[in-house]
Amino acid sequence: MSLNKSSKIGVAGAGTMGTGIAQIAATFGHDVYLFDAYPEQLETSKKSLENILNRQVEKGRMSTDEIEGILSRIHFVDHIKDFAGCDIVFEAIVENLQAKKDQLARIEAIISKTCILASNTSSLSIASISSGLKKPVRFLGIHFFNPAPVMKLVEIIPGISTESECTNHARRLISSWNKITVLAKDTPGFIVNRVARPFYGEALRIYEEGIANHATIDWALKVLGGFKMGPFELMDLIGHDVNYAVTESVFKAFYYDPRFKPSFAQKRLVEAGRLGKKSGIGFYDYREHANNTEPHLDETLGNEILNRILVMLINEAADALFMNIATVEDVDLAMKHGVNYPKGLLEWADELGPNWVLSELETLQDYYGEDRYRPNPLLKQKAKDGEYFHEKR
């Protein structure tokens, strides 16, 4: 089960994520076996990888010898039997539970007794995926973010059956690839996709209430909050079909907790096929000669919008800590490096003061009378005791 620089890596699924994982592993000297059942997908993957690496040469970031070395270490294979000599295999196929279970069961029948199995799932239960395996002790979630070669964060998610030795070996391997790893409990959305829900959900709620248009909300988060992208820009980029599906799955997985309630405004966009950049129109219009809504540059309004979304994000981060999903450090690392937030949310809470955050949430809860705005018990405790989330201030 031990992994090192000479370990052979298998990747099942030659889509964007699988190709990215293969690129990372090959860059760090591993022989990689990239499998896909469709020959045309393997060819697409190979061409995509060549284009990406050639651009690195054009920009002076890599030499021709380096990219030739990387490509020589990636073996594009059309049968899982080629995983027989691998030390770890990453599954990176479609985000469908049964498909993943079936694929991993087939791979398990081929690999050695010591080979580690990992799924790159972003939201499915690790326990559910592992239920089809004969040896779930060597299986875990290893969630890369897109684009995998660029994004620094990787969530490591052991399942209920995963042996700690397996988790430790896998985490050391990913860390050796210059990635920032965080350990997360096997719960819906893990860290990032759980804690980030209010960034979209509360922005959509403000929009639906008619408090501000989408451009104003994006302006407030970017200019006043320091976020690299506004929530509506980001939803348009991700694709509303994808973003809505994740929100809906998290909502169902949390037994319809109102904190994660999906938005009718976004549902209507999906129903109309207005999926964002990939369809040419979402909240913004990306077509030629389009006239887009301008933001209303009112700083008072902007700060109200920012604060409302921010306290909801902080409350969700506090809940992840309260429910032992991850440590203080890992929650903040995850949000800074998984979704490029300007600060860790618990670090931000300490700067603003837990008392202030609690007061803002209580005001929202009093006004709306909704359980959606209930303050987390840990946040309430910190405010009561005059404590902070991080020990050193």
Residue 137: both structure tokens together: 């002790």
Beta bridge partners, 155, equal 143, 182
Sequence-ordered strand ranges (E) for the chain: 9-12, 32-35, 74-77, 88-91, 116-119, 139-144, 153-158, 180-183
The CB-based long-range contact list for 242-250 (8 Å cut-off, 24+ gap) reads 243/200, 244/270, 246/122, 246/123, 246/189, 246/193, 247/197, 247/200, 247/201, 249/123, 249/188, 250/123, 250/188, 250/189, 250/193, 250/194, 250/197
Q: 92 near 21, Cβ under 8 Å? A: yes
Catalytic: 122? yes
Scan for tokens 């980029």, then name that residue: 237
Among residues 143, 169, 214, 240, the one annotated as catalytic is 143
* CB burial readout 27-50, b (16+ within 10 A) else e: bbebbbbbbbeeeebbeebbebbe
Q: Burial letters for 363-376: b for 16+ Cβ neighbours within 10 Å, e otherwise? A: ebeeeeeeebbbbb
Q: Which residue has the tokens 């609690």?
A: 358
Q: Which of 155, 233, 316, 347 is catalytic?
A: 155
Is residue 335 within 8 A of residue 342, CB to CB? The reply is no
Can you give the three-state secondary structure of 207-262, one letter per residue? HHCCCCCHHHHHHHHHHHCCCCCCHHHHHHHHCHHHHHHHHHHHHHHCCCCHHHCC
Given the residues 7, 122, 243, 376, the one annotated as active site? 122
Separation between Cα atoms, residue 262 and residue 197, nearest integer Å:
10
Query: Among this protein's residues, is 155 annotated catalytic?
Result: yes
CA contacts within 13 A on the Cβ side of 179: 31
Question: Active-site residue 143, yes or no?
Answer: yes
Catalytic residue selected from 119, 193, 263, 315: 193
Q: Locate 215 and state its tokens.
A: 């451009």
At which residue do the structure tokens 């380096």 appear? 66
Catalytic residues: 122, 143, 155, 193
